[in-house]
Chains A and B, each alone.
Chain A
Amino acid sequence: MGASLGRAALILALGVCVYGIGAALYGARTGRREWVDSGRRSVYALALVLTVCFAIIEIAFLRSDFSFDTVAGHSSTTTPTFYKAAAVWSSQEGSLLLWVWLLSLWSSAAIFITRNALRDVVPYATAVLLGFGAFFTGLLAFMATPFGTSSPAPVEGVGLNPLLRHPSMMIHPPMLYSGYTLFTIPFAFAVGALVVRRVDAEWIRAIRRFALAAWLFLGIGVLLGARWSYAELGWGGYWAWDPVENASLMPWLIGTAFIHSIMIQEKRGMLKIWNASLVLATGTLAILGTFLVRSGILQSIHAFGASTLGVPFVILIGLLVVGSIYLIVSRREVLRSEHHLDSLLSREAVFLLNNLVLVGLCFVIFWGTFFPLISEAVTGSKASVGPPWFDRYTVPLTLVLVLLSGIGPVIAWRRATAANARRNFRIPAVFGLVTLVVLVGVTGDDRKPWALGMFCCAAFVVGTVGQEFYRGIAARRALSGESPVTAAVSLVSRNRRRYGGYTVHLGMALLFVGVAASSAFQASRDVRLATGQGVDVGGYRYTYVRQTASVIDDPKRTGSILDLGAVVDVTRGGRHVTTLYPSRGYYPAPDASQGPVGSLIGGEATSHVGLKAGLRRDIWSAIEPDIQALQPLIDKGNRVVPAAHPDVALVVLEAIAQHYRDSAPPAQFRLIVSPMVTWIWLGGLIVLGGGLIAMWPPPGRRVRARYLARVGRDLKRAPTTTAV
Chain B
Amino acid sequence: MDVTRPPRTDSLAALRTEVREFVADHTDAAGVDSWLVGWDEEFTRELAARRWLGMTVPVEYGGHGRTHLERFAVTEELLAAGAPVAAHWIADRQIVPSLLRYGTEEQKRRYLPAIAAGTCFFGIGMSEPDSGSDLASVRTRATRADGGWTITGTKVWTSGAHRADAFICLARSEPLDPAHRHAGLSQFLVDLRSPGVRIRPIHSMDGSHHFNEVHLDGVHVPDDMVFGTLGEGWTQVTSELAFERSGPERFLSTFPLLAECVEQTRLGTLEPSDDTGRLVARVAGLHRMSSDVAGRLERGERADVAAAVVKVLGTSTEGDVAEHVDLLGGGARTQPERLRRFTESALVQRPGFTLRGGTSEVLRGVIARELGLR
Partners in one complex: no
B interface list, Cβ under 8 A from A: none
